[in-house]
Structure formats: structure tokens, C-alpha cells
Structure 1
Amino acid sequence: MNPLKERIQISKLKQAEILLQKHNIDTWLILTREGSDPCIPLLLGIRSVHQAAIFIRHDGKHIAVTSVSDKGNYEATGLFHQVRVYEVSMENTFLEVLNTLKPEKLALNFSESDHLCDGLTQGLYEWLEATVGSAHLSLLEVSSEEILKSLRSIKTQNEIERIQTAINLTTEIYDSVFPQIVCGMTEIEIGDLFIQEMKKRDVSNGLGHPYDPPLVCTVRNGLAHRKPGNHRTQPGDIIIIDFSLKYDDYVSDIARTCYILKPGEEMAPIEIQKAFDTAINAITLTIQHLKPGKRGYEVDQVGRQAIEAGGYPTIRHSVGHQIGRATHDGGTILGPKRNPPRLEVEGIIQAGEVYAVEPTVIQDKGLPCILVEENVLVTDTGPVLLSKRQSQLILIKSD
């Protein structure tokens, strides 16, 4: 196993033990088959082919129940006190372990709102219910959601280092691509520049397929989550690029806005510059308020009000979200308060979380839109900017 990966898995399991103790839960059960649970890469760094049961224990004596063919993968991690093997079906070995542990609480991966905490499939839950007995299971089961949210959200130093490398590579690619963009290119051709730069560095897109292009939108053709099209750029166009890059399983998420100068222009028109300045101010204020103890909706409100105060429509999406192993990494979201409450925006911001901050000017009918997105680490002493901020419009000459 990659030594860096091993250290990350060890540190995440140590985190899990502390969180189990904090929540007064002795056993966390993860059931998986064919890599069905998204928490497996985070905790173990392996892919289980056959059905398996992983017992994460508050005392650090973790146990895996796995097939004969998967046994080697689990043993190679060095993460388990025991690796128990079954040959045909898992029921008997599973019950032996469960009856030996005699858990008082059994945390399971189910959630109504966070897909990254909802890894227990209906079929595996029904298997568990039939194996343990529905009455007995009902006395034991609790949701692991709070544990898993914290585990994904609060990054170890090794995780932060990987995210920082992904961010640095993203900035490097942006710096390489911008001088290559010329007026008349299509959105697809601009996206292809990013693909070429990713391949040069042996990295991939953090969202979608490995060599998908980033989001590339000419504003007059609509700002949306869409693939680049055959729309050809022309003088006076605002170009928005939103790029997530994956490095060694961890991602960045950075957006930049460009303007193609019309003949004779040396700067963008006042209405475009005003929209840009409003977005930049909203980002600054949002980052300043990104501190432990605040709730997601409180920080969202700061960025949202700054956009509205500039005279623009309210933001159609959240002001920010977490990044880590995924571009949208679950946990607390910097989103608007809702009724009924949305758990993710009610979440409390914690030190060690990394956010993509993106209060956006969004208008219809070709009016100026601005998307700039920065990546920020929350610490006990204040927010730390991990990305190199865009402070000025990127200007592209049309001749």
C-alpha cells in the first residue's frame, strides 16, 4: 500500500474511534459489496468485491468479515485486529462476531439528506434485519450520520496537503491555459486546452470522467451546469470556467471569469466590472465570516446579502460547499436557511473543513454573470486561503 495512503487511513480510523467515544457508540457497522458504500475508500482505501462487514470499534479493535478472495486486501491494510473469513455465505461468521462483541449501540450508514452518509443499501439492510432479527436490530441501530459527516469534513494534515497540491496544480493549469485562449475559439476548444494540460501532469477531472473538460460557458449562451458547446467566442463575451481537479484522490474546485475585449477596449465595460467587483466583495466577506462555531446558513447569508446589495438577484445556489475526496464532499453547506430546516445548512462549521466559496452574480438574457470560486481552510485562528485569489478580470484581446 502507498505509505501516504496508509497514514491517511490510520488517521481516519483514529478519528472514528474518538468520534464513537464522543457519541457514546461502541460499534459502527459498515456493510458493503462491490464497493457499494462511499465511505470505504475514505476509511480503508480498498475496494471490496464480495459482501463484507466491517466493525469499527471505539476501542480500536476493528474486525472485518470478508470472503476468502477478499481476505488478502483487508489483511494488507494492517488496519484490523481480526480478519474473519467466510466461504459460502456470511451469516454464521457475522453472527459469531456480533455475539462476541455484544454491542450496546450499532451505528449504520443511513441518512435522509446526505448521500455520502447513506451507503447502506436497502438490500443489505434487509439482509441485516433477517440475520439479526428485526426486534433485536431495532434495539441496537442508530445512524452513523454525525460520525461520518465529521470524519469526511475534518481533514487530517495529510488530506490538507493533498488538497493543497490539487489546488496548486489547478492554478498552474489555469495559468497555462489563459494565454492560449484566443477570440473565436469554441467552448469545446477551450475545454480541450484543459484536457491537454491535465494529461501533461497525469491528473484528472475531479467531477465526472477523468478527462472530461471543466465547465466552460460563454454567458450570452447561458450560465448553467452544462458541457462546453460549439458556441464560438466573440468580442464582448464573458467566459466562465469552473474546474475541479483530482490529485491522489483529493480535489480542488476553482472557478475563474474572463472577458474578451472589443476592438479599442482596454478594460471591461462598467456594468461588467461592477458585477465582478460585487462578486469579489461577496467572496471577501464570506471568507472573513468562515469561522468555527458559525452555522452554514449564517455564512451563506453574508455572501448572499453582498450580492443582493450590489443590485443583483439572489444567488440560485449555495454560497459554498465542502471539498475533499469529492467536489461536493457532504457535511455542512453554506446554503440559505429553509423551512422545514435542511440539516446540512444548519450544520456547525468546524476547524479542519475546506470550503469552496462561490457567491455568484447570476442574471438571465445575456446580462453580466460572474463566477469566481476560491478554496478556504477553516482553522481555530481564522480562515486560510488555499487558492490564489482572482482579484481582477482576466482580459483576452480580440485581435
Structure 2
Amino acid sequence: MSDDEQVAPEYPPILPMRDRAAVIDRILAERLETVIPEIMRETGTAMWIVTAREYFEDPVIATMLDAESMHARRRTILVFFDPGDGRSVERLTVSRYGLGKLFQPSWDPADEPDQWRAVADIIADRDPATIAINTSDLTAFADGLTLSQYNAMLTALPEAYRQRIVSGETLSLRWLESRSTEELAIYPGIVRLAHALIEEAFSRKVITPGETTTNDVVWWYRQQLAELGLDTWFQPSVGIQRRGATGMLEGEVVIQPGDLLWTDFGITYLRLNTDTQHLAYVLKPGETAAPEGLTRGLAASNRVQDILRASFQTGRSGNEVLALARQQALSEGLNPSIYSHPIGFHGHGAGTAIGFWDNQNGDPRGNYHIRPHTTWSIELTSHNAVPEWDGQVVDFRTEEDAFFDGSTVRFLDGRQTNLTLISSEP
């Protein structure tokens, strides 16, 4: 991890599918052994029940399936039970199919045809003080239990156990936001791969000024990912800011010399996601560098990044971090907009929000507290007048993925500090 981003990096090796599955399963086994006991004891949860039906996976259960279990089968129910006294957390599956030997099969339909009755028996045998289920008014990440499954569960449970049901909101968020040792070992390489793709997109290999449109670059991304056997979690964006033009130009707009290009691009690989925004300048004939005003604009956004990173502190809410960072940036004469978010299993990941592009004040989604061992998309912009463009105000959007260890925020594969330059000549 470093603040320095490698210029025009080569693609890291991309694993064949069998090797990918082995990595995914190894990481999942590590997470189940380490993260689950930690978060259950942190929240004082005795039992956690996660359930989903085929093709309608709870956000949590989707990350607990092994690499060969692409969906929940029929109805998949996972039960975690902490017996206390430092003993190992039990991991049970109440379903017709095993899950990569990571959960103990605990239901024989021949003995008990009713699946939810089998769950009730497991609960009665262990008598947990609390039973967490995934329901939440605030976040979709912890709201995966459907009404029909909830009703079926309640019908099977004696009244005494119904009174012990609690929300698994914090458990769900903690499971999804926590990064394991091995995830952190591979994450920088995944971000490096995304950076390499962006560098290639912003080059003469892909862009011929005067001919190539922004949509051409968007669909180059999609085609390149398909050929590499990778995926993206959102449609890539490519836009132009141009002297004398208002706003961001996108679509079938031809890229011209003198344009400031912007891209928003992310990949999904080994169940982890990236989210990056970079800027490039198309040199005019005879130019060897971008106008100084554009260079200073990117430097201003880099400064806002530093201010935001310095505002992170374990236990602070996203709203508190936003307020502190904005106060400092404004005091330095910057014109920022901050809208950063967690990243990991999901591109817009579980955890607290740090601002929104359309709301720079507090938000209920920013009340959750920042935890260590979490990964973040440091997403923001600063608006700056460019003298060489007759004082036109330009939006210097930037986004880089980073890790918070509890003390400092470090970029996973550096950050852009210099505009990528694209020659207008062959």
C-alpha cells in the first residue's frame, strides 16, 4: 500500500477459474473462523440465523456461499451459535445441500420434513439468550429476511423464543465491512488491475482524438473485461470537460485535443470490488504538458483527499468525519464536495456514508461509526477556476480505494497525482 501510483502499470496475472475458486474458498474459511466469533462477541449475540431462497439471496448469505455454490439452493438457512466460555462458534446449515464443508449439515428431511421445525429444534437444544435475524429499517445490507420467511420462522418457534429475536443489523454490517488478512493481501493487486485498465483506456491504444467518442471508450472497457474474464458492478462512465462548454459531455461526443477527460470505472474480481475516478488531458499539437490551471485543480483534490484521510478516527461517525474534513478544507480556501463510501463485497459497501454529492450535511446513513480493518472509496471533488480556460470552473473528480487500519488511511495502490496525458499525434 502506498500513496504513489505506478504510471501505466502492467496487468497483474489473472487467475484461471479453478484457482479463483480456491482463493475464494480459502478467504471464506478464514473469515468464518475469525470474523464471525469476533463480531458475535462484540455485539453480544448468542445465535445468528441467516436465510435465503434460491435466486433471492440475502446480501449476507451471498457472501457466505462457497465458490461452487453460486446461489442458495431451494431454501438455505445458516445458523451461527456461540456457546460462550471461549468455545468455538458452531456453524450449521439447515438445508438439503452442504456448503463446501464450511458448515455442518444439520437437517435430515426424512426425520423432520418441516425445515423451520428443524430450526426450532436447534434453537431449543441450545437455548440462546438472543436470536439475531436480518431485518433493518436503515440499510438493505441487513434487511434480507423476507416477510414470508419471517412469518414461517415465527410460526415454528415457541413464544418464549420469539421474545428473544433481535435485529442482526450491526452483525450484518460488521461481517460485510470487515476485511481479513488474506483479503488485504490480494486487494492491492485487484486495484492495480483496475488502474492498468484505466491507463490503457486513456491512451492512444484506445483513443484517437478527433475520432473516438466517449461511448467508444465505455464499450472498450466492457469488451476488455469480457475478454479478460472479469466483471464490473456498474456501467463505466467517460466524460469530457471542455473549454467553453457547460457541464460534463458524454455519449456520442468525439474526444478532441484540449479536452479534460474523466472516467468512473470499477471491477469485480475474487468477490472484491474497486471504484476509481481518474482524469486525463488530451494534448493539443505542440503541447507537452497540461495547462497549469488543470494541474493545480487535481492538486487541490489531492489536498482534500489528505484532509479527509486525516479526519478518520475509530468511533467517529461518517457525519462527524464529513463535517471535520469540510471545515478544514474550506478554511484552506478549497471548494470541496465529499461523498466517500465503504467498499468491499459491494461497490457501495456496508458501513457509514461520508457525505453524498447532493447532500454535504449530516444524513441518517452517516450515523454509523467507523471501524478499523475496513476498506474505503475515497471519493470527492474540488471545483476550481482555470485561468487558461478564461476562469471556467472545472470539476476535478477523483476516487481511490483505501484501507483504514484504525490509525491511518492508506491507498491500496496509490492515487493519481498527475493528469494522464494523451497525445493528439500518432
Among 25, 29, 32, which residue is 2:45 paired with? 25
**2:388 corresponding residue in structure 1:** none
1:64 maps to 2:93? yes
Contact 2:53–2:73, Cα closer than 8 Å, also in 1: yes
1:289 maps to 2:311? yes
State the distance in 2 between where 1:150 and 1:380 align. 15
1:347 maps to 2:374? no
Normalising to structure 1: TM-score of the pair?
0.85
Among 347, 353, 361, which residue is 1:333 paired with? 353
1:323 maps to 2:343? yes
Q: CA deviation at 1:358?
A: 1.6
1:357 maps to 2:381? no
When residues 231 and 78 of structure 1 are mapped into structure 2, their CA distance, relative to the original with a 3 A threshold, is same
**1:4 corresponding residue in structure 2:** 23
Contact 2:314–2:407, Cα closer than 8 Å, also in 1: no
State the distance in 2 between where 1:106 and 1:57 align. 9
Partner of 1:16: helix, strand, or coil?
helix
1:241 maps to 2:291? no
Contact 1:279–1:307, Cα closer than 8 Å, also in 2: no
When residues 262 and 308 of structure 1 are mapped into structure 2, their CA distance, relative to the original with a 3 A threshold, is farther
**1:113 corresponding residue in structure 2:** 138
When residues 357 and 44 of structure 1 are mapped into structure 2, their CA distance, relative to the original with a 3 A threshold, is same
Normalising to structure 2: TM-score of the pair?
0.80
Higher RCO (CA 8 Å, separation ≥ 6 residues)? 2
Q: CA deviation at 1:253?
A: 1.3
**Matched AA of 1:163:** Y
Deviations 1:356-380 (A, max 9, x none): 102213699x841111111111114
Contact 1:63–1:80, Cα closer than 8 Å, also in 2: yes
Identity %: 21
**1:149 corresponding residue in structure 2:** 173
Partner of 2:202: helix, strand, or coil?
helix
Q: CA deviation at 1:240?
A: 0.9
Partner of 1:360: helix, strand, or coil?
strand
**1:166 corresponding residue in structure 2:** 190
Q: Can you give the 5+ residue segments of structure 1 that lack an aligned partner in the other structure?
A: none
Contact 1:65–1:93, Cα closer than 8 Å, also in 2: yes
Deviations 1:79-122 (A, max 9, x none): 22443133654233232222222222110111122211111112
**2:79 corresponding residue in structure 1:** 55
When residues 16 and 176 of structure 1 are mapped into structure 2, their CA distance, relative to the original with a 3 A threshold, is same
State the distance in 2 between where 1:304 and 1:243 align. 26
Contact 1:361–1:371, Cα closer than 8 Å, also in 2: yes
Contact 1:65–1:86, Cα closer than 8 Å, also in 2: no
State the distance in 1 between where 2:333 and 2:307 align. 17
State the distance in 1 between where 2:224 and 2:424 align. 23
Q: CA deviation at 1:350?
A: 2.3
Contact 1:287–1:376, Cα closer than 8 Å, also in 2: no
Going by fraction, where is helix more abundant, 1 or 2? Answer: 1
Contact 1:376–1:385, Cα closer than 8 Å, also in 2: yes
Partner of 1:85: helix, strand, or coil?
coil
